[in-house]
Copies of this chain bind each other. A is one copy, B any other.
């Protein structure tokens, strides 16, 4: 931690800060410049809120040096985290990237869901996604079938062997969701719902944590840290678009560079969601490829048996035939990436 004093800070003010740092167990180094003094505080800043030092008279600003997350950081753990599922599928590291597909929201039409699930299975994918509880901006929009949706997903799993990914929105529903899900998803709007992060941190299911639309990489990894700190280290990060400068052309701006950045700073797997990330069907395929080519461990995308009548997100869902086409081309790219990874060659 670096504490920058105002040019006008007095000797007494500097000393007060230094003393406070010593009291909190830090060692200090003073860097006196021509204009201002900088105090380097050496020690484990995780025990205090560093911004508290901004309160002292004469302090201009406080800068963190070390990233404030630890369990999620590459420094905390060098080797990549690889998460293995009961059926042997693995996510992370140099494993073959996965495809997670399914409707935004599970609807009344069980048969439609099963047709999607069959297509997902047929294309060699291992994960079926589908929402039981839907976070909707408007209270007038469809809010999800709740437990009935979970039962439908379980039926789809039974018929296809696919693993089920579904979102948890409330700590009250944790037990119910755990009963059905293979992977629990935490939505972007709940990325800093710390009670929810704590709750999934105490269960033993893998968690897909989506990046909040205005979250920095640091805030994103700190959210993962909340889950890990509470005991669950099976966290899969998911880039799904940030608020950019143009919300007319795309719903969000998919931050592709976040993938290699996160792989540098963290050992956790990171996947990409081009459906929510763009909100446009025609962008799903190119942006899935962009995510994969920079190293994403997987792609999550929305497929619906009848997008024009979907209860949510139809415009960013592929129909079943489109999905098959896209999946075929993505599988080809995934095959090349996997080949290069396995042969320790640089991608492409």
- Tell whether, in the assembled complex, residue A31 and residue B36 are in contact, meaning their CB atoms are under 8 Å apart: no
- Tell whether, in the assembled complex, residue B264 and residue A282 are in contact, meaning their CB atoms are under 8 Å apart: yes
Judged by a CB distance under 8 angstroms, whether A34 is at the interface is yes
* A142 surroundings in chain B (CB, below 8 A): 49
CB distance from A245 to the nearest CB of B (A): 5
- Tell whether, in the assembled complex, residue A140 and residue B46 are in contact, meaning their CB atoms are under 8 Å apart: yes
* A264 surroundings in chain B (CB, below 8 A): 282
Task: Tell which of B33, B195, B254, B261 touches A172, judged by Cβ atoms closer than 8 Å.
Answer: B195
* A141 surroundings in chain B (CB, below 8 A): 49
- Tell whether, in the assembled complex, residue B286 and residue A260 are in contact, meaning their CB atoms are under 8 Å apart: yes
Task: Tell which of B55, B282, B309 touches A314, judged by Cβ atoms closer than 8 Å.
Answer: B55
- Tell whether, in the assembled complex, residue B310 and residue A55 are in contact, meaning their CB atoms are under 8 Å apart: yes
* A273 surroundings in chain B (CB, below 8 A): none
CB distance from A346 to the nearest CB of B (A): 6
CB distance from A111 to the nearest CB of B (A): 20
Judged by a CB distance under 8 angstroms, whether A161 is at the interface is no
Given known contacts A55-B315, A215-B245, A314-B54, A257 and B287 CB-to-CB distance under 8 angstroms: yes
Q: How far is the CA of A2 from the CA of B277 in the complex (A)?
A: 24
- Tell whether, in the assembled complex, residue A51 and residue B314 are in contact, meaning their CB atoms are under 8 Å apart: yes
Interface residue count for A (Cβ, 8 Å)?
Answer: 112
Q: How far is the CA of A250 from the CA of B264 in the complex (A)?
A: 12
* A286 surroundings in chain B (CB, below 8 A): 257, 259-260, 293-295
Task: Tell which of B140, B194, B243, B310 touches A135, judged by Cβ atoms closer than 8 Å.
Answer: B194
Task: Tell which of B63, B140, B196 touches A63, judged by Cβ atoms closer than 8 Å.
Answer: B63
Chain copies in the assembled complex: 4
Residue of B nearest to A309 (CB): B52
Judged by a CB distance under 8 angstroms, whether A317 is at the interface is yes
- Tell whether, in the assembled complex, residue A253 and residue B255 are in contact, meaning their CB atoms are under 8 Å apart: yes
* A99 surroundings in chain B (CB, below 8 A): none
- Tell whether, in the assembled complex, residue B34 and residue A42 are in contact, meaning their CB atoms are under 8 Å apart: yes
Per-position binary interface string of chain A over residues 125-164, scored 1 when its CB falls under 8 Å from any chain B CB and 0 otherwise = 0000000010111111111000000000000000000000
Judged by a CB distance under 8 angstroms, whether A95 is at the interface is no
Interface stretch among A86-94, A116-124, A177-185, A221-229?
Answer: A221-229
Q: How far is the CA of A7 from the CA of B69 in the complex (A)?
A: 14
Q: What are 28 inter-chain pairs, A to B, with CB distance below 8 A?
A: A2-B38, A31-B31, A33-B43, A33-B65, A46-B140, A47-B140, A52-B315, A55-B281, A55-B307, A135-B194, A137-B222, A171-B171, A189-B192, A213-B245, A214-B243, A214-B245, A217-B248, A243-B243, A243-B245, A244-B244, A246-B258, A249-B258, A253-B255, A253-B257, A256-B256, A286-B295, A287-B294, A289-B293
Known: A139-B229, A253-B257. 8 other contacts (CB 8 A): A52-B312, A189-B194, A190-B193, A216-B246, A243-B243, A254-B256, A290-B294, A333-B348
Residues of A that sit less than 8 Å from B by CB: 2, 4, 7, 20, 29, 31-36, 38, 40, 42-44, 46-47, 49, 51-52, 54-56, 63, 65-66, 68-69, 75, 133, 135-143, 169-172, 189-190, 192-196, 213-219, 222, 225-226, 229-230, 242-246, 248-250, 253-261, 264-265, 277-278, 281-283, 286-287, 289-291, 293-295, 307-315, 317, 329, 332-333, 336, 346-348
